[in-house]
Structure 1
């Protein structure tokens, strides 16, 4: 599964990557952006989505809260959705049809290892999102990361890895469509080839960062959406 990841690129570099998507009012999101070495479940995450024909940058909470849930405090909040069953499970099939998203990342963590691109470039985690609207009209937008079987690099660490959208196919992933379009997306739900990636063991950290180090090593109790 994907239980921790990072987005530590600079604001200027992030703006360059997102430039073709950004709208004038998206500047507020970037104004509050700060690089993050560790992003954990149920924290705010940066996401790109398409709604009403426009791509929008926004913050969402990591942990999907389906729009049909009556009591959000009692709801299970999965952080991952399995690619093999995403079109079938009640929590995911609506978002899979209508609310796909992209989560920018520069690396993800598995069992004390950092996995990132060899060229250190930003990449996109595939996700789905939903909007919960309360009786008082309040809104909460949440998301989760789609996972698939591991490639040969990740397999020694875990039996799942995040789905990573290939460069140049981001707009196709966000594009709404019918069942035929979703079937055309299925090849993207397979493991990323291992060659562009590297797996780096985490080094011991100073005591002041020990809590963060332990957080990276501990992923056994996270909601996985299985």
Structure 2
């Protein structure tokens, strides 16, 4: 599953949205620079790490600070919630009611039993999007905020030696449909199929 991911301000290009949105791209670059390209971690009970999320805004899109993982009764859920299996959404498409795209330049997994971290990124180091489902949650200080869970599917064949799961990647041509299309089995099926276009371009590098 996706243990952590990063957003490096040095990304060369953006393969994120169907239509170029300069404000979104600039906002992401500024956020990444302020956070020094830091790897993101799930937010703990006593932490407050809000991350940029691409969400629908009428006929356009916007960036919204969001909490990775679900909040229940003012604290992080006691069940695993930073990732959601694509199979679960195929069986229960009602979980697709609200969706977002997680901007990233790479995600990280630990290969066992060697306990060696690896980074998964596009071959041209471009910014890309990972599928997410969202819901509202209340923070420990009482504020209502968007929470998100990254959608995970079986890994592409060339990545399975490192990890058996990977995020569902949303290519630019499917960004609007993923964000605004009706929640259905067909939508998640199409997203998984489209993910293969980008997955074939993912390269892996060991991390210290």
> Match for residue 103 of structure 1?
102
Q: Alignment length, in residue pairs?
A: 189
Matches of 2:179 and 2:142, distance apart in 1: 27
Q: Please give the alpha-carbon distance, in whole angstroms, between the structure 1 residues aligned to 2:39 and 2:6.
A: 5
Alignment-derived partner of residue 77 in structure 2:
75
Mapping for residues 69-218 of structure 1, pairs under 5 Å = 69=72, 71-73=73-75, 75-76=77-78, 78-86=81-89, 88=91, 93-94=94-95, 96-97=96-97, 99-111=98-110, 112-132=117-137, 138-177=143-182, 179=184, 183-190=186-193, 192=196, 194-203=199-208
Contact 2:90 2:189 survives alignment (8 Å): no
Match of 2:55 among 49, 55, 61: 49
Q: Residues 59 and 81 (structure 1 numbering): CA distance in 2 closer, same or farther, change over 3 Å?
A: same
Structure 1's 165 and 72: CA in aligned 2 closer, same or farther, altered over 3 A? same
**5+ residue gaps in structure 2?**
44-48, 111-116
Give the distance between the partners of 1:74 and 1:46, measured in 2 at CA.
Answer: 18
Structure 1's 74 and 109: CA in aligned 2 closer, same or farther, altered over 3 A? closer
**Equivalent pair of 2:5/2:106 in contact (CA under 8 Å):** yes
Where does residue 39 of structure 2 map in the other structure?
Answer: 38
Considering fraction of residues, name the structure with more strand: 2
> Can you give the 5+ residue segments of structure 1 that lack an aligned partner in the other structure?
204-226
Is the contact made by 2:12 and 2:127 (CA closer than 8 Å) also made in structure 1? no
Could you say if the C-alpha distance between residues 3 and 117 of structure 1 is closer, same or farther in structure 2, counting changes exceeding 3 Å? same
SS at match of 1:38: coil
